[in-house]
Chain A
Amino acid sequence: MAAHEITFDPDDRYNAFLTTCKKAPHGDGKLGGIAVAVKDNISTRGIETTCGSKILKGYIPPYDAHVVGLLRQSGAAIAGKTNMDEFGMGTTTENSAFGPTLNPCDTTRVPGGSSGGSAAAVAAGMVRMALGTDTGGSIRCPAAFCGIVGLKPTYGRVSRYGLIAYANSLEQIGPMARNVSDVSLLMQVISGHDRRDTTSYTRPYTHTPSPDIKGIKIGVPQEYFGAGVDRNVAEVTKRAIFRLEELGATTVPCSIPSMEYALAAYYVTCTSEASSNLARFDGVRYGPAADTKKSWHDAYREVREANFGTEVRRRIMLGTFALSSGYYGKYYAKAQVARQNIKQDFSRIFSEVDVIAGPTMPTIAFKLGEKSDPLSMYLADILTVPANLAGIPAISLPCGKVEGMPVGLQIMGKPFEDERVIDVACAYEQAVSQ
């Protein structure tokens, strides 16, 4: 299969990669010889996989994630592993234990996160495409901040086998590239059923993008242009939606009232799932050695204090608290009701429109160090988390600039209508490139 190899030795001035494969073997096929970067929370056989954390430093997975196997089968060259917020917990890639990634558009700014390394590697032209993961916006945010295209597929369309879990019910692996057709091509390769992921559907993606969007109805939610959204970002996004109207789409104003508590529901859910998922990191089966002479809890606590970053420990603790006796009803149970309300809001809107459009992020990329307190960082996710809570497909594509920095247009679709989301993105991209 791996009949050839490419040399991959880029000038990584943005700290986009945690590992590069200087000689990357590849075969023939749909992605034959194309260098593809893989986010460092996706298992790659024989290539160190750290999740941006000291607790997995030196961990060499003995097996490939399903999507990595598919990449290899399609002839892709795995060029390296990209930097990320530790375990995907962040919106800037500053939470990486191995230093932040810089935004190639302006190196004083963050690339977004948590798939910031993948976005920067693509934006800087180091690779043609990359895999990211999106739990609450982690593909779309860095795509928007770095001016590239990124798709969070419908939940269940891409296998999560071999993805080191952070919040299972929310996260999806997805494609990132500089244009819609490459995102679509990579999606063709990675989608489809895998029996090793029991949430995987038999819904392969075989679509070729079509720019014909005549007659499509686009819902425009008022909450995506309201308080907290930078006026200039809102303006650029509105102009992009107007462009879609010129191409034959019609727009329908709509409202997602459950947005009021979407962010809280998201953070309660993801931290609860994280508190369970990250219990496996104990320095026993992998990672830095636990002191086996000490008692279990002492050894475990020491390894985790020394090797988990502050934000990871905070989220594990928030989740532990939200699930604890006496608080479960107030936090976790309520968050699940909220999640259901969000799904119902989307379902109601999608009975009248084909897609929903708005900005991906409320602002342009932050300056490095700008978001110093966790809550203000969380608030930046408000426009991306609804799609994860509802499990629907959502894409971000560049639609203009504010202060010289890229702005992302977000298109969300009905479950399993990733194809339509891609088509709308394709229509916009073609219109503005002419």
Chain B
Amino acid sequence: MVTEKEVQHIAGLADIGIDTGELGAFTSRFNEILDYFDVLDRVQGEGPASCDLSNVMREDIVEPSLPQEEVLKNAAAQEDGFIKAPRVM
């Protein structure tokens, strides 16, 4: 069982705002789903074995990319050719 406080904590970790009015419903749905996930406790086995696949790597070579103005076109806030973001500190 997770509590409303824990759901709020998870929402904080995920940067998902939750309105206090919807917290109760969110928590009860959350618990119903987690109860269902408990079936995984019965899983036996080794887990993913090593397979015959390997990572696909490439040399770090500069290739043509989209022009700056194309990339900035969808950003709501810009300044001097940069994307403007909220302050971090």
A336 to B47: give the CA distance in the assembly, Å: 6
A 290-305 to B, binary, CB cutoff 8 A, 1 in contact else 0: 1111111111111011
CA of A293 to CA of B11, assembled, Å: 22
Report the bound CA distance from A310 to B18 in whole Å: 10
Q: Which residues B23-45 have CB closer than 8 A to chain A? A: 26, 29-30, 32-34, 36-37, 39-45
With A308-B16, A339-B48: A292-B86 Cβ-Cβ less than 8 Å: yes
Task: Compute how far the CA of A313 lies from the CA of B66 in the bound complex, rounded to whole angstroms.
Answer: 31
The answer to whether A336 and B10 touch across the interface, beta carbons within 8 angstroms, is: no
* Given A289-B76, A301-B16, A261-B39 contact (CB < 8 Å): yes
Stretch of A91-99, A225-233, A371-379 on the interface side: A371-379
Contact A292 B47 (CB under 8 A): no
Once the chains bind, are A292 and B66 in contact (CB under 8 Å)? no
Report the minimum CB–CB distance from A95 to chain B (whole Å): 14
Tell yes or no: A337 within 8 A of B by CB: yes
CB distance A285 to B75 under 8 Å? yes
Q: Which of B19, B45, B83 has the most CB of A within 10 A?
A: B45
Interface flags, B1-28, vs A, CB<8A=1, else 0: 0100001001101111111001000100
A308-B16, A336-B48, A375-B33 are known contacts. Are A290 and B85 too (CB-CB below 8 A)? yes
CA distance in complex: A420, B48 (Å)? 27
Question: B85 contacts which chain A residues (CB < 8 A)?
Answer: 284, 290, 292, 296
- Complex interface: stretch among A55-63, A65-73, A107-115: A55-63
A305-B18 in contact (CB<8A)? yes
| A286 contacts partner chain B, Cβ-Cβ < 8 Å | yes
- In the assembled complex, which residues on chain A have CB atoms less than 8 Å from the CB atom of B36? 263-264, 375, 378
CB within 8 Å for A292 and B84 given contacts A336-B48, A340-B46: yes
Closest beta carbon of chain B to A117's beta carbon, Å: 23
Q: Which of A260, A301, A331, A373 contacts B15 (CB 8 A)?
A: A301
Chain B residues within an 8 Å CB radius of A286 = 74-75
Q: Which residues of B contact A291 (CB under 8 A)?
A: 86
Q: Which residues of B contact A322 (CB under 8 A)?
A: 37
Q: Does B52 contact A (CB under 8 A)?
A: no
Nearest chain-B residue to A316 (Cβ)?
Answer: B14
Bound Cα distance A373, B49 (Å): 36
Determine the chain A residues whose CB is within 8 A of the CB of B33 once the complex forms.
Answer: 267, 318, 374-375, 378
Please judge, given known A-B contacts A302-B17, A316-B16, whether A321 and B10 are in contact too, CB under 8 Å. yes
Q: Which residues of B contact A331 (CB under 8 A)?
A: 37, 40
Residue of B nearest to A319 (CB): B14
In the complex, are the beta carbons of A305 and B75 less than 8 A apart? no
Asked if A101 is at the interface (CB within 8 A of a chain B CB), the reply is no
Instruction: Verify B73–A60 contact, CB threshold 8 A.
Output: yes
Tell whether A314 pairs with B56 under 8 Å between CB atoms, given A284-B85, A296-B87: no
Q: Which residues of B contact A334 (CB under 8 A)?
A: 40-41, 43
Instruction: For residue B64, give the distance in angstroms from its CB to the closest CB of chain A.
Output: 12
A-B contact pairs, 10 of them (CB 8 A): A261-B43, A282-B15, A284-B76, A286-B75, A289-B76, A292-B84, A302-B17, A318-B30, A330-B40, A336-B48
Instruction: List 20 extra interface pairs beyond A336-B47, A341-B44, CB under 8 A.
Output: A260-B39, A284-B84, A286-B75, A288-B76, A292-B84, A292-B86, A295-B86, A295-B87, A295-B88, A299-B86, A301-B17, A304-B15, A317-B30, A318-B33, A324-B13, A331-B37, A337-B43, A341-B43, A374-B32, A375-B29
Minimum-distance CB pairs A-B, first 10: A305-B17, A289-B76, A299-B86, A286-B74, A198-B56, A334-B40, A62-B70, A320-B14, A301-B17, A337-B47
